[in-house]
Amino acid sequence: MTTVADRLRPVTGHRLFWPALVLVVMIAANTVYRPGFLAVEVKNGHLYGTPVDILRLSAPLILVALGMTLVIATGGIDLSVGSLCAISGAIACLHISRAADPDSPSTVLTALALAFGAALVLGAWNGVLVAVIGIQPIIATLILMVAGRGIAQLVTEGQIITINSGPYRAIGLGHLLTLPLAVLIALAAALLVAAFTRRTALGLIVESVGGNAEASRLAGIRSRRIVFLVYVVSAACAALAGFMVTANVSSADGNAAGLWIELDAILAVVIGGTSLAGGRFSLGGTVLGALIIQTLTTTVYAMNISPQTSLLFKAVVVIAVCLVQAPAFRARFRRRRRGVEPGPAAPQREKEQVPA
């Protein structure tokens, strides 16, 4: 006779089930703690409320995590995305601050183009180090992670550049069709990446390179080009996130902008079900992971948890989420509930000594 667990297995076995469940549980817990958590209202034609704020604040993380997903799918890692956020934001704000008319659309577009181009060049630098020279990804991107902060400090001359530009501020705080513009930008980026990776062969090629780069090369796939490409895409996503981060506060701080966002992006990718070993990846899971992290951050602030313990609280929750998603942990937990302990491994037979 089919049990309830057997009937639900196709649902619970889906890679997005557990991240979605964790997000629903967190929203439900916040709703119990604060009954007005899900309240959304319209003011001056714009949507406001905690759910809208979570979506808006998670937009930069979603962008960075999308690029990180592709990098991790190839078996790499990109630790430089936080520094790229700071560099792109610093270059854009520097150009706007020196312009005669900061509110001019042409000034803002020129600033965005300069910053975006610089980010692409730095992403190409990472790609060359990893794909061409063959340096380990964690070392290659660590170089730019450290040096990038210095570049951002040089651009800002160690100061916080403050600007007053309405068009640039709209990137982080503007609205379009009642929704925050940052959310729409992140949504457009996610759909664009999904279209290229799931509607073309590019996604399968990325997964094959991450699964076995040498076998992919022997099969005719130019794995080096794919690895180079994903680091450029990761830099582009980080640049867009840098624009949002600096637009939110109308200033560029080369030391603080995008600080530790690379770690949150890696967490979002892992929570979404993508393996750090490379291979198969889930863009939908990455988006859910970013929303989980931002919801957790909002929860920490709402519960008035002290800054000294907030990081520990977030770490405990993330560990619990990862354990819940792990198939081996769930299987062991089910066996214990049924009272079945995993038996000892069968003893291996000693190899027979063959006389010389």
Model pLDDT for residues 279-288, shown as the tens digit of each residue: 889 999 999 9
CA angle 133, 136, 142 (to 5 degrees): 105
330 is a domain residue: no
Q: Which residues of the chain have pLDDT under 70?
A: 1-13, 307-308, 325, 337-356
For 311-318, the CB contacts below 8 A with 24+ separation are: 318/267, 318/271, 318/293
- pLDDT tens readout for residues 198-253: 999 999 999 999 988 778 888 888 889 999 999 999 999 999 999 999 999 999 99
10 is a domain residue: no
The total number of structural domains that make up the chain: 1
267 is a domain residue: yes
What is the pLDDT at residue 83? 96
226 is a domain residue: yes
Cα distance between residue 352 and residue 342, in whole Å: 29
Q: Is 147:244 a contact under the CB 8 Å cutoff?
A: no
5 is a domain residue: no
Q: Is 20:286 a contact under the CB 8 Å cutoff?
A: no
Cα distance between residue 262 and residue 266, in whole Å: 6
Q: In this structure, what CATH number is given to the domain that contains residue 292? A: 1.10.3470
Q: Phi, psi (5° rounding) for residue 349?
A: -75, 140
- What's the pTM value of the predicted model, to 2 decimals? 0.88
Asked whether the CA dihedral 153, 240, 315, 293 is positive or negative, the reply is positive
Q: In the chain, what is the straight-line distance between the N-terminal and C-terminal CA atoms, in Å?
A: 59
What is the pLDDT at residue 353? 44
| Residue range(s) defining the domain that contains residue 118 | 54-325
117 is a domain residue: yes
114 is a domain residue: yes
What is the pLDDT at residue 322? 73
